[in-house]
Structure 1
């Protein structure tokens, strides 16, 4: 069993390397087997389809992203600070590991079936991320003065899950539009400010947080 698990992990390692360096389109079963140093039929023992192997590699991406979140917030006490750290990690990961990031959110893989009883569908890998954002939004808003919250269109305060969904969507949009060069083109240096790319992205992330949570001062 240990050898089988080791071989399965080797195949996923090879798939991760292919996705990061050449994109998910290059990650066929045969090429993955070749990179892992096994026979071309070996992947079928663990991944009956190409789709299954892609899902396993994307799972690895969510594990990596989750570990980065934990490290980023380890010494951050406030919910607003944790959301800010999460936002920077999310956008940074998307730009640093672009092929993996795009694979992780492919809808055809999100609907994939479990590979084994102890491995959930890929769709479920997004739930801890969204749940964490929702929890932090709720904690941050609970510390705000109700008079300074932004009401919804009907005069009510949107629930934390709705705010979290909008915040996540904005962060994902920043990551994608920055990778495509669209934000740099439309805003230019005048709006983004002079300086390195990471400083310009920091300003965009700060604007997203302020838009959904209010100015930084309400959250201690």
Structure 2
């Protein structure tokens, strides 16, 4: 790949990321991305054989950004694994709130299926962090389930909170504006309240 080809690929992705942050997923047509990148509508095909492949490359930037935030958090987080899970949950919910378009794109099932972009690997790496923290947090608990199962259930819970909170459904149904309460309830449900009592003031 020539330098100019590499620059075009990067520019298309960067334009897509910017367009997504400003106008949401509906704005990400192949034609509009090409127009804002200053190239013909057929030019993206040289690097992305399908529209989905380009969208997957844009979504991968979201995983990269979230991965950097997670790595920095883990590097500076307190040693207690429950406190780390609590902080990680806060980070996840905040990322969903401040990157709504990207968050939606990152978890589209049709993009996670392949496209040669590596979204499954990016998602799997972040999930591995969650599994390790769950394993450490419940080290003293008599739980025969694999840590990956508990982590998967917790992730689904956090993702559901993020989605329903953005839609306003939880605030209306649960009658609270305190998402922290819901986050702690999710951790208690999957790890047990005994773990939570150590860090109630965190």
Tell me the TM-score normalized by structure 1. Answer: 0.82
Distance 1:113 1:16 in 2: 18
2:186 paired residue number: 208
1:180 paired residue number: 167
8 Å contact kept, 2:56–2:115: no
Q: CA deviation at 1:218?
A: 5.7
2:158 paired residue number: 171
Does residue 159 of structure 1 match 2:161? no
Deviates more, 1:35-44 or 1:205-214: 35-44
1:20 paired residue number: 21
CA RMSD of aligned residues (A): 1.7
Which structure has the highest helix share of the two?
A: 2
1:10 paired residue number: 11
Q: Deviations over 1:149-185 (max 9, x none)?
A: 5x5xxxxx32211110110011000000001111011
Q: CA deviation at 1:6?
A: 2.0
**Structure 2: gaps (5+ residues):** none
Count of residue pairs the alignment pairs up: 195
1:82 paired residue number: 84
Q: Deviations over 1:4-55 (max 9, x none)?
A: 2222111101111122222222111121011122232221111121111111
1:129-144 pair list within 5 angstroms = 129-142=126-139, 144=140
1:66 paired residue number: 67
8 Å contact kept, 1:109–1:123: no
Does residue 104 of structure 1 match 2:91? no
Distance 1:23 1:33 in 2: 16
Distance 2:12 2:29 in 1: 11
8 Å contact kept, 1:11–1:36: yes
Distance 2:145 2:185 in 1: 19
8 Å contact kept, 2:52–2:115: no
Distance 1:2 1:85 in 2: 41
Does residue 44 of structure 1 match 2:22? no
**Structure 1: gaps (5+ residues):** 152-156
Distance 2:120 2:75 in 1: 26
The SS at the match of 2:170 is: helix
Distance 1:18 1:90 in 2: 22
Distance 1:5 1:46 in 2: 9
1:92 paired residue number: 94
